[in-house]
């Protein structure tokens, strides 16, 4: 952790939060994560995140959290980077709780918010963000899950795929089509409890075994008071949530970059080949420098975007740049770290083997790298 290179505008308290959480993740949370079921929700891990007060740092004080007013994107990034540096599983569990619950926090009725959010903040209930469909990923405006108006509410029918915490989540923020042919203006958000009749799904076996699955809805009834925000206004609910969380995907990537950099600095200084330390070989020293520069640049972009969000500025371009660069940089940094370590880094269970699998998905979810480039270019011409 001695190579951690903080932006100058981060306070000493902020730096201490990040380092504190990284130690907590490595020493306390990683063993719980390792003992959990692969590819399914790890409830003991969520409970530990609640017991240590980590989850509460991004939830409102009146709903069981510690936040007065709006959540800070900088704090969210600090927590995600710190957790990722010690346990990517703990980071993912933490982030998915926030992502799944924020549509309810920002747009749910008081009754629904109070029913679910305190339990989510304690790690006792599991939340999920259900936007993506088998044929609607990056083009979220083309959602086809049907939300049919019936007496007293809506019936949801259709499929979601690659959904966080599915099929084990207790409460889903689901986005369905209420008006045909209206694109993004015909989508509505709903709070859907798992116990609702007609809710099903299965887990997916991915490269990195996280809690990701499908959500199958067969006429699942959602009452009117479980609509999140305005009818046909669900796309805005989704985008407000993603605006908050997109920069922090970059923070997750930075945490992985930092972990890879730290372990490689240690290895290259201790490992000898042909009578000298690896770090003394020009090829290796060049890679170490490149890893450090990319990690630093990614961190600066991430925290600049987060600070802009906290200042109430428009962050579309900054968030896209942060997410794009940080995730692409992390992929490259982890790859270089593996090259310096050699075959040992490919052994199952090695930190870098684990990071190599985990880092790949960050360039896809919450907007692919290609979509981020489209957003950036569009913003340049605004």
The catalytic site residues sit at 366
CA distance 31 to 37: 12
Q: What three-state secondary structure class fits 190?
A: strand
CA distance 306 to 226: 30
CA distance 66 to 62: 8
Please measure the distance between the N-terminal and C-terminal CA atoms of the chain and give it in whole angstroms: 40
* Closest residue by Cα to residue 287 from 265, 270, 256: 265
Burial string for 64-99 (b: 16+ CB within 10 Å, else e) reads bbebeeebbbbbbbbbbbbbbbbbbbbbbbbbbbbb
CA distance 121 to 63: 8
User: What is the helix (H) or strand (E) element at residue 335, kind and residue range?
Assistant: helix 316-341
């Amino acid at each position: 952790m001695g190579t951690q290179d903080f932006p100058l505008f981060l306070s000493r308290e902020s730096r201490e939060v990040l380092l504190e959480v990284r130690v907590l993740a490595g020493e306390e949370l990683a063993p719980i994560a390792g003992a959990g079921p692969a590819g399914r929700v790890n409830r003991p891990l969520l409970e530990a995140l609640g017991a240590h007060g980590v989850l509460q740092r991004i939830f409102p004080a009146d709903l069981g959290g510690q936040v007065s007013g709006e959540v800070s994107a900088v704090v969210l990034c600090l927590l995600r980077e710190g957790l990722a540096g010690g346990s990517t599983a703990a980071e993912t569990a933490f982030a998915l709780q926030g992502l799944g619950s924020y549509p309810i926090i920002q747009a749910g009725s008081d009754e629904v918010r109070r029913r679910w959010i305190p339990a989510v903040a304690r790690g006792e209930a599991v939340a999920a963000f259900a936007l993506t469909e088998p044929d609607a990923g990056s083009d979220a405006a083309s959602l086809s899950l049907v939300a049919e108006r019936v007496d007293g509410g809506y019936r949801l029918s259709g499929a979601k795929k690659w959904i966080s915490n599915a099929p084990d989540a207790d409460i889903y923020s689901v986005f369905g089509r209420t008006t045909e042919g209206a694109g993004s203006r015909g989508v509505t958000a709903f709070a859907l409890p798992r116990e609702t009749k007609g809710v099903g799904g299965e887990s997916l076996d991915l490269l990195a075994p996280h809690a990701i699955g499908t959500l199958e809805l067969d006429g699942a009834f959602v009452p009117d008071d479980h609509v999140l925000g305005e009818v046909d206004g669900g796309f805005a609910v989704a985008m407000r949530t993603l605006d908050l969380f997109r920069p922090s995907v970059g923070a997750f990537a930075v945490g992985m970059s930092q972990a890879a950099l730290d372990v490689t600095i240690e290895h290259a200084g201790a490992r000898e080949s042909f009578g000298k330390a690896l770090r003394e070989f020009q090829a290796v020293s060049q890679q170490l420098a490149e890893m450090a520069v990319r990690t630093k640049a990614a961190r600066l972009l991430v925290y600049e975007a987060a600070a802009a969000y906290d200042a109430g500025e428009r962050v579309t371009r900054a968030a896209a740049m942060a997410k794009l660069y940080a995730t692409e940089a992390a992929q490259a940094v982890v790859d270089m770290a593996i090259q310096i370590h050699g075959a040992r880094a490919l052994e199952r269970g090695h930190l870098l083997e684990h990071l190599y699998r985990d880092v790949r998905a960050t360039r896809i979810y919450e907007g692919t790298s290609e979509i981020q480039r489209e957003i950036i270019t569009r913003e340049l011409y605004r």
